[in-house]
Amino acid sequence: MGQYGSYEKMVTDPGAVVANPTAIVLEAATGAVFVSRPLMEPIAVSRFGYAVTVAFDYDTQTVEGELTLYRYPLGNASDKVALQTIPLQDALAAGMVAYADVPNPPVAADLKGKADFNAGDVVAIWITTQAAGGTELGDFQPYFCWHPRAEVDANQPLMVNLTP
């Protein structure tokens, strides 16, 4: 801490997150949380999406599914902040990766952005609209991309530097 970090983008895939390292079915229920990652360092999330593992087919689409990326300040899901949404689009082939950029406008006097996470915050991806349409077929794996965020020790109350 106290130094500027790298701005190289990192990808957090299903194998590196706390919940659901396996593929999720296209018609998964609304409210299901598929990625949940508590943070130990300040980061900024720049993109999120999903990799299609089994081709999407809504048959006769009635409702397009949707994922939403959230920030839980200090890990509190009841205060979650929606950062971006992405549709579970019909007719995506296996192997395709769908993504949405995450806007990060400043929202505080200190110019921290809406998608800037502190230590103790949680990144979460939810199903916010359940896919529906006859016989839905398809599986996917959600992911998010991030980069370290420059920060000073005084702005991270949940971090304690014990370097001798």
Give pLDDT tens digits for 18-65. 555 678 899 999 987 777 888 888 899 999 999 999 999 998 889 999
Q: State the pLDDT at residue 17.
A: 55
For the chain, give every domain's residue range. 10-151
Mean pLDDT computed over 56-80: 93
Q: State the pLDDT at residue 3.
A: 45
Q: State the pLDDT at residue 47.
A: 94
Mean pLDDT computed over 132-148: 90
Q: Are strands 24-25 and 122-129 parallel, antiparallel or unpaired?
A: unpaired
Q: State the pLDDT at residue 110.
A: 66
Q: Could you tell me which residues are beta bridge partners of residue 142?
A: 50
CATH of domain 10-151: 2.60.120
Confidence at 2, pLDDT banded by 50, 70, 90:
very low
Q: State the pLDDT at residue 19.
A: 53
End-to-end CA distance of the chain: 14
**Short-list 11, 26, 15, 21, CA closest to 92:** 26
CB atoms < 10 A from the CB of 158, how many? 12
Is pLDDT at 85 greater than 90 in this prediction?
yes
Q: State the pLDDT at residue 21.
A: 60
Give pLDDT tens digits for 90-120. 999 999 999 999 999 888 666 678 899 998 9
Q: What is the chain's mean pLDDT, rounded?
A: 85
